[in-house]
Amino acid sequence: MTDSRTVARRYLTGALAAILALTSIAAAAPETAHADPTTRKFTVVNIDYEGSKIWVPATLVVEQGDTVQIKLINNVPTDPNQHGFSIPAFNVNAVVTRGTPETVEFVANKEGVHDIACHLHPAHVAGQLIVLDD
Ligand SMILES: [Cu+2]
């Protein structure tokens, strides 16, 4: 005969076994919430929009720890023939001459929203590098 305490003990033992089983499944499952660091490649072009210069795309999104490779193309036909691509947070300071693409590479090891600007002509429309917390 089983009294209520025995039933309760059996129930709790079963529940504990289920929790342990679920925990071990969770521990064995591959991590999906955070991607492994990878190399993110972008091509960004300088354009002239009604007299304003802007690097397009203006917003780049990566995850913390990623290696970021950005090919920079300046084919704006008007002078000056050089524009800057600067991300001060990562000491990126490229000068891109019309017709001569440049590539910058760095590790995005600081999360947050970081300014992108032309350090030669501060009147440009600025952009952002968004580094997501990993
Ligand atoms: Cu410029």
Give the model confidence (pLDDT) of 37-71 as tens digits: 899 999 999 999 999 999 999 999 999 999 999 99
How close is the Cα of 26 to the center of ligand 1, in Å? 51
- The single-letter code of the amino acid at 63 is E
Residue 45 contacts residue 58 (beta carbons within 8 Å): no
How close is the Cα of 16 to the center of ligand 1, in Å? 64
CB-neighbour burial class of residue 77 (10 A; exposed 0-12, middle 13-18, buried 19+): exposed
Question: What is the Cα–Cα distance from 94 to 30, expressed in whole angstroms?
Answer: 39
Count Cα neighbours of 62 within 13 Å in the Cβ-side half-sphere: 24
pLDDT at 134: 81
CB-neighbour burial class of residue 38 (10 A; exposed 0-12, middle 13-18, buried 19+): exposed
How close is the Cα of 126 to the center of ligand 1, in Å? 10
- Say what the pTM is: 0.74
How close is the Cα of 121 to the center of ligand 1, in Å? 4
